[in-house]
Amino acid sequence: MKFEIESIGTVYNKRKEVVDDFWGDTISEIRLHDHLPEEALDGIETFSHAEVLFVFDKVTDPIVWGSVHPRGNTNWPKVGIFVQRKKNRPNLIGATICEIVKREGRSLWVKMLDAIDETPVIDIKPVWQGFLPKKEVKEPKWSKELMTDYWK
Amino acid sequence: MKFEIESIGTVYNKRKEVVDDFWGDTISEIRLHDHLPEEALDGIETFSHAEVLFVFDKVTDPIVWGSVHPRGNTNWPKVGIFVQRKKNRPNLIGATICEIVKREGRSLWVKMLDAIDETPVIDIKPVWQGFLPKKEVKEPKWSKELMTDYWK
């Protein structure tokens, strides 16, 4: 089944290139498009975190449909695309939980958003404790290793 | 900016109606479409949780673009659509962190997925500790109240 989606805003920040890692000091402005009323963000400052859904629209690498070594690192196991957070995935959608910094009018500033400048945003959802994992989160060694420099 | 997305799988479970609450005992099968190789799920059993992105394709209520009282409850403040997890939102996309139950071939079974039977799935992402909130998650009273019966 196919669906059409339309961006609801745009990311503005200092990251201009499609590169992994070192997102720790990036602060991003998400500015709503003019076809959305400013009140779509009303009340967001009563939450500490929001999940931002966005489109990896600058990706030029071929889409991975099967399984590959994460970041091409053969020290890590070959795993399926739905077991990775890789950009060049079917539907090119990213989803990242961010820290809310401030809201002004039709703009929301966030930390911990790993999307580059001018990335189209397709949704913003508040983070509620009730939707976070209740049981312990388990993951293999490779995904912990991959994150070593991510938020530095 | 407009984008076309295509479902990568379908949800199968016992929930046939679009209703809120009481998702606690629902186990869902997500079956990949035939155009995806089965290996797209390889390694997913090494993670405890996965985030499932899906389309609220059965929603018939008008899309909310501005702000409304959550669930129409006037005891709760009027807040923007991007401050709610409401279904009838721009782009009709849901994103829920689920517990992985098992994987068999091109099917993944999960708990805590709040999507009804035959919902189109557009992405599955493994949950890594490195992408969960580092700081304390704060939310207002109303969103906690709204969740009272959600996972029962």
Mean pLDDT in residue range A7-27: 90
> A27 lies in a domain?
yes
- Per-residue pLDDT of B6-56, as tens digits, reads 999 999 999 988 778 889 889 999 999 999 999 999 999 999 999 999 999
| pLDDT computed for residue B19 by the predictor | 78
Grouping H, G, I as helix, E, B as strand and the rest as coil, residue B98 is strand
Residue where the block lists tokens 């530095």: A152
Phi-psi region of A101 (alpha: psi -120 to 50; beta: other; left: phi over 0): alpha
Q: Does A126 touch chain B (CB under 8 A)?
A: yes
> B139 lies in a domain?
yes
- Residues 98-117 in B contacting A (C-alpha not used; CB under 8 Å): 99, 108, 112
Cβ-Cβ contacts under 8 Å for A70 (sequence gap 6 or more):
A76, A79, A84, A86, A142, A143, A146
> B135 lies in a domain?
yes
CB contact under 8 A, B41 and A99: no
Q: Does A24 touch chain B (CB under 8 A)?
A: no
Pick from A148, A99, A111: which is nearest to A26 by CA? Answer: A111
> A133 lies in a domain?
yes
Count of domains observed in chain A: 1
Query: What Å distances lie between residue A95 and A53, A82, B6, B45, B105, CA to CA?
Result: 4, 13, 17, 21, 26
Q: Does B34 touch chain A (CB under 8 A)?
A: no
Q: Does B79 touch chain A (CB under 8 A)?
A: yes
Question: What's phi and psi for B21, nearest 5 deg?
Answer: 70, 165
Helix (H) or strand (E) holding A111: strand A107-111
> B151 lies in a domain?
no
| pLDDT computed for residue B18 by the predictor | 77
Helix (H) or strand (E) holding A25: none
Question: Please, what is the average pLDDT of chain A?
Answer: 96
Mean pLDDT in residue range A13-31: 89
CA dist A151 and B120 (Å) reads 32
> A151 lies in a domain?
no
pLDDT at B100 over 90: yes
Domain CATH for B48: 2.40.30.70
Domain, as residue range, for A111: 9-146
Distance in angstroms between the alpha carbons of the first and the last residue of chain B: 39
CA dist A126 and B70 (Å) reads 13
State percent of chain A over pLDDT 90. Answer: 93
Q: Which of A17-21, B13-17, B94-98 has the lowest mean pLDDT?
A: A17-21
Helix (H) or strand (E) holding A144: helix A141-146
Distance in angstroms between the alpha carbons of the first and the last residue of chain A: 39
Residue where the block lists tokens 């890692």: A21
Tokens of residue A100, six digits: 């809310």
Residue where the block lists tokens 């990311």: A11
pTM of the model: 0.97
> A152 lies in a domain?
no
Q: Which of A40-44, A74-78, B56-60 has the lowest mean pLDDT?
A: B56-60
Q: Which residues of B touch A48 (CB under 8 A)?
A: 133, 135-139
Q: Does B2 touch chain A (CB under 8 A)?
A: yes
| pLDDT computed for residue B31 by the predictor | 98
| pLDDT computed for residue B52 by the predictor | 98
> B4 lies in a domain?
no
Amino acid A33 reads H
| pLDDT computed for residue A22 by the predictor | 84
- Per-residue pLDDT of B43-68, as tens digits, reads 999 999 999 999 999 998 999 999 99
- Per-residue pLDDT of A81-100, as tens digits, reads 999 999 999 999 999 999 99
pLDDT at B140 over 80: yes
How would residue A63 be classed by pLDDT, with cut points 50, 70 and 90? very high
Mean pLDDT in residue range A16-26: 84
CB contact under 8 A, A1 and B120: yes
